[in-house]
Amino acid sequence: MVEAKKLIPIYITGKKYLVPNGLTIMKAMEYAGYRYIRGCGCRGGFCGGCGTVYRFKGDYKLQSGLACQTKVVENMYLVQIPFFPANKADYNLDELKPTGGTLLKLYPELARCVSCNTCTKVCPQDIEVMDYMQAALKGDIKSAADISFDCIMCGLCAARCPAEIVQYNIALLCRRLYGKYMTPKAEHVRTRAAEISEGKFDKELSNLMKSDVHLLRKLYNKRDIEPEESKR
């Protein structure tokens, strides 16, 4: 006989519910009867769509996390913020230069950063958000792109920033600038793209499109896989 899990009280937008201990916030809310229409996304911690803020009774500190990863705790008071309205600059990447001046022109609020580190503390990915903000402020686009690489754009940093900066959009711009203007071009990718444009694989692709799913699975399982030695 499977032992029933202990029920614990949590509060969703102020209303008390009893849910099984050990559930994630997302599953606990569904157990309580909430139906997810927005703010659920991938359910695996990759899309950043389920940002949640919570605190505990008697504790002044406001905490945050992703509902699909954070487990409920007894007497947790929580509310989700699946969408956070934030400033996003309009720009044409082809017309930009990879400089600090570009960042400040499109996001002048970057200069308001007071290095309070609130953005880093709130990040569910444990990214050093303040560090990439300081790199962006110095015009070090490469460092900003590298440090922010794992950002899933959940918006929690912007929600907590006292200077009202949208850190994740600035990081996205840094990664775009770095990828377009500063990353060395992969010659093998350029060669393959040219071959595709010239129609080298048209016949093979046409045959694949006409194949049934069983043949496709067979071909996939028999495909040549790059040896581990060549990846090093």
Q: Say yes or no to pLDDT of 3 above 60.
A: no
Task: Please check the confidence at residue 1 and state whether its pLDDT lies above 90.
Answer: no
Start and end residues for every CATH 1.10.1060.10 domain found in the chain:
93-182
Q: What CATH architecture is 7-80? A: Roll (3.10)
* Rounded-to-integer distance, Cα 25 and Cα 78, Å: 9
Supply the pTM of this predicted model. 0.75
Q: What is the pLDDT of residues 146-163, one digit of tens each?
A: 999 999 999 999 988 999
Domain(s) of CATH 3.10.20.30: residues in the chain: 7-80
More confident residue, 152 or 41: 152
Residue 121's pLDDT is 93
Query: Tell me, which fold does domain 93-182 have in CATH?
Result: Fumarate Reductase Iron-sulfur Protein; Chain B, domain 2 (1.10.1060)
